[in-house]
Structure 1
Amino acid sequence: MSVAKVGAVVLDCPDPHALAGFYAGIVGGTVEDEGDWVDLKVPGGPTLAFQAAPGHVPPRWPAADRSQQFHLDLTVEDLDAAEKEVLALGAKPLDTEDRSRTFRVYADPAGHPFCLCAC
């Protein structure tokens, strides 16, 4: 028996609507804009929520003094095709040089690290 279930994964960011749109471009879903708080309702998954955080300082990957704190692992069928799409949406590569691995690390437009992982 569990005490709770995941209601949402919340990311602080400077522009909640823009970051919700970025992730909607990757995982689909419906954006529900409430101003300083935006929900992305993802079919079959937990809600991703984006909260306005004035003065947001993005994590630096990998760096102990500004750790990533958490990250999203996003499962994909084709790493190369998914990489092309997330880069077109505004992701920045952080650790993508080793093409033999089953994952690659990127930053979203607000600087949060996320991984594309081969399924």
Structure 2
Amino acid sequence: MVLDCPEPRPLAEFYAAVLGGSVTGDEGNWVDVTAPDGRALAFQGAPGFVAPAWPAADGSQQFHLDLRVEDLDAAEKEVLALGARLLDTGEPGRTWRVYADPAGHPFCLCAC
């Protein structure tokens, strides 16, 4: 999976920290991250990148990541400290919350 973004390295570092993984390749305009379970994400520089709007029918989110966490409140504190932005906490008792990464891509933290 490859995420287009304005600056690949900072976004790769954000996801490496969120996933507990590491940056495993950096070619400037293309940066790879490998999670502890071996899954990989790549980040590609995209001139003129426009972040998806959420929720908006005319600004499609295109895709989003659902990340399972043991403790939703603790994980929220961590991703916010890393630069994520809260988009939606939902109704009380809901088991997921929606955030935007530093480039604006939506992602969810989901209690497992």
Structure-1-length-normalised TM-score: 0.90
1:51 matched to 2:32? The reply is: no
Bigger mean CA deviation after superposition, 85-94 or 43-52: 43-52
Distance 2:5 2:98 in 1: 19
In the alignment, which residue of structure 2 is the partner of 1:102? 95
Residue type matched to 2:27 in 1? Answer: E
**Which residue matches 1:113?**
106
Distance between the aligned counterparts of 1:62 and 1:24, measured in 2?
A: 26
Aligned partner of 1:4 in structure 2 is none
**Residue aligned with 2:58, SS:** helix
Q: Which amino acid in 2 is paired with 1:34?
A: E
CA distance in 2, matches of 1:29, 1:88: 17
Q: 1:73 aligns with which of 66, 70, 76?
A: 66
Partner of 1:40: 33
Among 14, 24, 31, the alignment partner of 1:22 is 14
Q: Distance in 2 between matches of 1:63 and 1:24?
A: 28
Q: Scaled by the length of structure 2, what TM-score is found?
A: 0.95
Equivalent residue pairs, number: 111
Identical counterparts, % of pairs: 73
Tell me by how many angstroms 1:87 deviates.
0.2
Over aligned residues, Cα RMSD in angstroms?
Answer: 1.0
- In structure 2, list runs of 5 or more residues that go unmatched: none
Structure having the higher Rg: 1
Q: Which runs of 4+ in 1 moved over 2 A?
A: none
Relative distance call for 1:15 and 1:99 in structure 2 (3 A) is: farther
| Higher mean displacement: 30-39 or 103-112 | 30-39
Aligned partner of residue 106 in structure 1, secondary structure: strand
The runs of 5 or more residues in structure 1 that have no matched partner are 1-8
